[in-house]
A and B are shown apart, each in its own frame.
Chain A
Amino acid sequence: MTGRIGMRMLGRLALNGAATLSMAYLLLPLFFVTWLAFFAQEIPSFPPDGYSLKWFRAVPGNDRFVSGFILSLQVASIATLLGISIGVPAAVCLVRMKFTGRELVSSLLLLPLVVPGIVLGIALYVFHVETEILTEIPILGSIGGLIAGHVLIVIPWTVRLVTASLVGMDRAIEEAAQSLGADRFTTFRRITLPSILPGMVAAAMFGFISSFGNLEMSLFLVGPGRTTLPIAILQYLEWKIDPTIAAVSVLQILFIGVAMLLTDRFVKISRVV
Chain B
Amino acid sequence: MARLQLTNVTKRYGEMKAVDDVSLDVANGEFLVLLGPSGCGKTTTLRTIAGFVEPTSGSVRLDGKDVTDLPPWKRNAGLVFQSYALFPHLTVSQNVAFGLEMRKIPKADMPARIAEALRLVRLDHLGERLPRQLSGGQQQRVALARALVFRPDILLLDEPLSNLDAKLRQDVRVEIRELQRKLGLTTVMVTHDQEEALTMADRLVVMSEGRIRQIGTQHDLYERPADRFVADFVGRSNFIDGTIEAPGRFRSGGGLEIACGEGRTGTATLALRPERVAVLGSDAAATDNRFEGRVEFLSYLGAAIDLHVRISHAERVIVQLPNRPENAPPKIGDAVNLGWNRETARVFQD
Binding site for B on A (CB under 8 A): 170, 172-173, 175-183, 186, 190-191, 194-195
Cα-based distance from A2 to B103 in the complex (angstroms): 70
With known contacts A179-B50, A179-B78, A173–B103 Cβ distance under 8 A: no
User: Which of these, B76, B81, B103, contacts A176 with CB under 8 Å?
Assistant: B81
Most chain B CB within 10 A, of A173, A181, A182, A183, is at A181
Which of chain B's residues have a CB closer than 8 A to the CB of A186? 102
Interface residues on B, range: 20 to 34
With known contacts A170-B83, A180-B146, A194–B89 Cβ distance under 8 A: yes
A interface footprint on B41-54 (CB within 8 Å = 1, 0 otherwise): 00000000011100
Which of chain B's residues have a CB closer than 8 A to the CB of A176? 79, 81, 85-87, 143, 146
Which of chain A's residues have a CB closer than 8 A to the CB of B210? none
Q: Does B340 contact A (CB under 8 A)?
A: no
Q: What are some 8 contacts across the A-B interface (CB < 8 A)?
A: A170-B85, A173-B85, A173-B87, A179-B50, A180-B150, A181-B150, A182-B102, A195-B88
Apart from A173-B87, A176-B87, A194-B89, 17 more pairs, CB < 8 Å: A172-B85, A173-B86, A173-B88, A175-B52, A175-B72, A175-B79, A176-B81, A176-B85, A179-B50, A179-B78, A180-B102, A180-B146, A181-B76, A182-B73, A183-B73, A186-B102, A195-B88
Q: Which 10 residue pairs of A and B lie closest in terms of their CB atoms, listed nearest first?
A: A181-B102, A172-B85, A180-B99, A176-B85, A179-B79, A178-B72, A194-B89, A173-B85, A172-B81, A181-B73
The answer to whether B89 and A195 touch across the interface, beta carbons within 8 angstroms, is yes
With known contacts A182-B98, A182-B102, A183-B71, A177–B83 Cβ distance under 8 A: no
Cα-based distance from A15 to B102 in the complex (angstroms): 55
Q: How far is the CB of A183 from chain B (nearest CB, A)?
A: 5
Which of chain A's residues have a CB closer than 8 A to the CB of B78? 179
The answer to whether A179 and B89 touch across the interface, beta carbons within 8 angstroms, is no
**B60-89, CB < 8 A from A:** 71-79, 81-83, 85-89
Q: How far is the CB of A83 from chain B (nearest CB, A)?
A: 24
Which of chain B's residues have a CB closer than 8 A to the CB of A182? 73, 98, 102
Cα-based distance from A195 to B88 in the complex (angstroms): 8
The answer to whether A175 and B81 touch across the interface, beta carbons within 8 angstroms, is yes
Q: How far is the CB of B123 from chain A (nearest CB, A)?
A: 17
Which of chain A's residues have a CB closer than 8 A to the CB of B71? 178, 183
Chain A: which residue is nearest B97 at the CB level?
A180
Which of chain B's residues have a CB closer than 8 A to the CB of A175? 50, 52, 72, 79, 81, 85
Cα-based distance from A190 to B101 in the complex (angstroms): 11
Q: How far is the CB of B52 from chain A (nearest CB, A)?
A: 6
Which of chain A's residues have a CB closer than 8 A to the CB of B156? 179
Q: How far is the CB of A74 from chain B (nearest CB, A)?
A: 33
A interface footprint on B95-109 (CB within 8 Å = 1, 0 otherwise): 000110011000000
Q: How far is the CB of A177 from chain B (nearest CB, A)?
A: 7
With known contacts A172-B81, A182-B73, A182-B98, A177–B103 Cβ distance under 8 A: no
Cα-based distance from A183 to B98 in the complex (angstroms): 13
Cα-based distance from A142 to B176 in the complex (angstroms): 67
The answer to whether B103 and A181 touch across the interface, beta carbons within 8 angstroms, is yes
Most chain B CB within 10 A, of A177, A180, A186, is at A180
Chain A: which residue is nearest B143 at the CB level?
A176
Cα-based distance from A179 to B98 in the complex (angstroms): 11
The answer to whether A177 and B50 touch across the interface, beta carbons within 8 angstroms, is no
Q: How far is the CB of A119 from chain B (nearest CB, A)?
A: 41
Which of chain A's residues have a CB closer than 8 A to the CB of B77? 179
Cα-based distance from A177 to B73 in the complex (angstroms): 8
With known contacts A175-B72, A178-B71, A178-B72, A191–B102 Cβ distance under 8 A: no
Cα-based distance from A178 to B51 in the complex (angstroms): 9
Which of chain A's residues have a CB closer than 8 A to the CB of B75? 179
Chain B: which residue is nearest A197 at the CB level?
B89
The answer to whether B102 and A179 touch across the interface, beta carbons within 8 angstroms, is no
Q: How far is the CB of B185 from chain A (nearest CB, A)?
A: 15
Cα-based distance from A172 to B84 in the complex (angstroms): 8
